[in-house]
Each structure stands twice: as structure tokens, then as C-alpha cells.
């Protein structure tokens, strides 16, 4: 494994941290704020086809699904960094591609955090590219 920058190591951790917050919100805060509790209703209905048509259940499901997918992206990014010593710029571009349309639709939402993560990922990727070029030219 090659030596990686502090920012490069922190980007996947921040993505996974945001994923955990998103999932915890979807598990505890959101269901507690809705009446009746959508998670309890899903469990009571036996999970199979227990969401369709109920907006509260749909919102809760998408909160949880998005949190899980963010965690997968963060974990995969961490794995790639451990394998290559660099963060792919695509992580930043994909994250921005998710954040920008989301912010257009919901400007008052916390998608600003996702936007910040995308920018951080692009900065880290650019630094990694510059370090790789500098290493190659000094060898």
C-alpha cells in the first residue's frame, strides 16, 4: 500500500459517517416524528409489499436505502484507496452529480453536506494526481 494524504483517507470516512447519520435518522428520528410509526407498520405487515402507496413508509424506506448506498460508496472508496493509494476523481463527480440536482429540487435540505463531500473528493483526487506526477518525474 502506498502512502496516502490525510484528505484522501478522510473522504471515505466522511462519506460513511454521513451514511450512518442518514441511516440513524431513518431508523429513529423520522419514524418517531410520524404517526403511525412507518417502520412498525412495515414489520406488522410482514415486510412483503408493505410499503406501496404509503408515503410515510416510502420516505422512510428511501432514507434507509440512501444511507446504505452511501455507506457502500464510502466503503468501496476506502477499498480503492487502500489498493491504489489514490481516490478516483469519479467519486467526486458522482457525488456532485447526486448533490447538485438534489439541491436544485430541495435547496433547504442537508444535501449541502453531500456537495461538500464531492468537492473534497475532487480536491483529494487532484492532489493525488499531482503527487503521482511529482513522484514519477523525480524517479
Q: Which are the contacts of 103, defined by CB distance < 8 A and separation ≥ 6?
A: 109, 111, 112, 115
Q: Which of 61, 19, 21 is nearest to 38 (CA)?
A: 61
* pLDDT tens sequence across 48-94: 999 988 999 999 999 999 999 999 999 999 999 999 999 999 999 99
* Calpha distance 59→57 (Å, rounded): 6
Question: From the CA atom positions of the chain, what is the Rg in Å?
Answer: 19
Place of cell 463527480: 93
pTM: 0.88
Q: Which of 11, 131, 139, 17 is nearest to 81 (CA)?
A: 11
Amino acid at each position: 500500500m502506498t502512502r496516502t494524504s490525510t484528505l484522501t483517507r478522510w473522504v471515505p470516512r466522511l462519506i460513511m459517517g454521513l451514511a450512518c447519520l442518514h441511516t440513524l435518522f431513518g431508523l429513529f428520528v423520522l419514524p418517531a416524528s410520524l404517526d403511525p410509526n412507518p417502520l412498525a407498520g412495515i414489520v406488522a405487515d410482514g415486510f412483503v409489499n408493505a410499503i406501496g402507496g404509503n408515503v410515510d413508509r416510502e420516505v422512510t424506506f428511501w432514507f434507509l436505502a440512501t444511507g446504505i448506498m452511501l455507506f457502500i460508496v464510502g466503503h468501496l472508496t476506502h477499498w480503492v484507496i487502500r489498493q491504489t493509494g489514490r481516490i478516483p476523481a469519479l467519486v467526486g463527480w458522482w457525488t456532485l452529480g447526486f448533490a447538485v440536482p438534489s439541491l436544485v429540487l430541495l435547496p433547504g435540505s442537508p444535501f449541502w453536506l453531500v456537495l461538500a463531500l464531492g468537492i473534497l473528493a475532487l480536491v483529494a483526487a487532484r492532489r493525488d494526481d499531482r503527487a503521482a506526477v511529482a513522484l514519477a518525474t523525480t524517479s
